[in-house]
Structure 1
Amino acid sequence: MDADNMRDADWAIVDVLREGRANAPLIAEETGYSSQYIRERLGRLKQDNIVKPLGHGIYEVVPEELPDE
């Protein structure tokens, strides 16, 4: 995924995960998006290797895979 294809929600997720590992409910709380939408976007970001799951619903960002903003 390149920067043009990333939605505002994707960047918001990345911003939260830059601060540390988090799960969808925490990301939703921090960003104001619904947990369902955050899970959907995490799935897309995972497909593109921008985030990786660590188990138990916890994710972290993969910095070297982030497109330039």
Structure 2
Amino acid sequence: MDKRMNQLEETVAHLTRTVDELSEVAARQDREITRLTARVESLMRAEAERIADTGGTIPLADQRPPHW
């Protein structure tokens, strides 16, 4: 009975550690997703401003030459 109790306690300890590690991973991923979402929003605003500044036309450097 004592051996069985030790095995159960060991299993619970491993499971607790695994849950803690997964919780840390999920928290880190949440922070990274939040950071990347803010970055994408910033890039989208910058691109919208760039398009508004150019009047919605394609910049000359990005246009195809007339012979294409």
TM-score by length of 1: 0.23
Report which of the two structures shows the higher radius of gyration computed on alpha carbons: 2
Which one scores higher on RCO, CA 8 angstroms, separation ≥ 6? 1
- Indicate the structure with greater helix content: 2
Greater share of residues in strand:
1
TM-score (norm 2): 0.24
